[in-house]
Amino acid sequence: MNVQKNETDHLEIGHRTSAANSAPAAPDFLCQLLAAREERALVQKNILSSSSGGCLVQITVNVPGCPKRIENDEAVVQIAEAFFLRGANVRETVRVSLVNGAGVALLLFFPSLDPIAAKKTGIDVESTPLWGRALDIDVIARNGILTRKDVSLPARRCILCENEAKICARERRHDIGELRDAVRRMLTCAQVEI
C-alpha cells in the first residue's frame, strides 16, 4: 500500500490497479474484496474518531460484479465531489482518496455539516445528473450510516428497470455485463457533460 500525504489532511491511499485489469480467480478476488472493504471501514473509523460532530461523506461508483474498477471511475468521483461541495456550500477538513480492491472511494470529512443536510445533498447528486445513478454517496455520522428513510425518501431504483435496486440485485434479475455497460455509459456521459 502506498500512502502519500499531499498536503495537510489530504491523503491518497492506493494499491494501484488498472480499470482494465481482469479479476483474479473467485476465491482470491473475494478475499481481496473483503480485505479492501475492511480497509475502507478502518479509514472511515479513523477519520470519524478525529471529531465529536459533523459527518463523513463517502463517494464511490456502484460497480456491479467484478473487478470493482471501471473506466473513468476516479474522474467521475471527482466530478461528483465538485457537485457535492457546490451543493453543500462547505469545505471539507479531511480528504482521503482510497483506491483498493473495493474500487475508488473518496472520503470527505465535514466537522460542522449536519448529517441530514449532507444526505439530502448527496441524494441530489445521485439523482439530478443522469450519471448520478451510477454513484453511491454515503453519509456516515458517529452513530452510523444514514439511509434514504432518514430523509423520508423511498429506496433507490434499479439502473436498468424501475424496480427497487436492492431487489433486482438480490434476485440477480439482470446480466452483470449489461449492468456494467449501463454504468460505463453513465460515466462516459458524466465526462462529456462537464
Interacting residues with Zn ion (CB under 5 A): 158, 160-161, 163, 168
CB of 25 to Zn ion, least distance (A): 28
User: How far is 129 from 71, CA to CA, in rounded Å?
Assistant: 18
**Please, what is the minimum distance in Å from the beta carbon of residue 133 to Zn ion?**
12
As a whole number of angstroms, the distance between CA 65 and CA 108 comes to 26
Place of cell 434479475: 173
Using CA of residue 18, residue 125, residue 181, residue 179, what is the dihedral sign?
Answer: positive
- Contact assessment for residue 156 and residue 167, using Cβ atoms and an 8 Å cutoff: no
Q: Give the nearest residue (CB) to Zn ion.
A: 158
- Of the candidates 80, 168, 176, 177, the residue with the CA atom closest to the CA atom of residue 123: 80
Q: Which is nearer to Zn ion, 137 or 158 (CB)?
A: 158
Indicate the Cα dihedral angle 126, 99, 31, 33, nearest 10°. Answer: 10
What gap in Å lies between CA 145 and CA 55, rounded to an integer?
Answer: 10
Which of 27/154 has CB closer to Zn ion?
154
To Zn ion, the closest distance from the beta carbon of 158 in angstroms equals 3
> Judged by CB, which is closer to Zn ion: 79, or 135?
135
Instruction: Name the residue nearer to Zn ion (CB basis): 149 or 170.
Output: 170
For residue 74, the minimal CB distance to Zn ion (Å) is 27
Nearer to Zn ion, 64 or 115 (CB): 64
Cα(182)–Cα(61) distance, integer angstroms: 12
In the complex, the smallest distance separating the C-beta of residue 127 from Zn ion, rounded to whole angstroms, is 17
Cβ-based nearer residue to Zn ion, 45 or 166: 166
CB of 125 to Zn ion, least distance (A): 22
Angle between helices 115-127 and 73-88 (to 10 degrees): 130
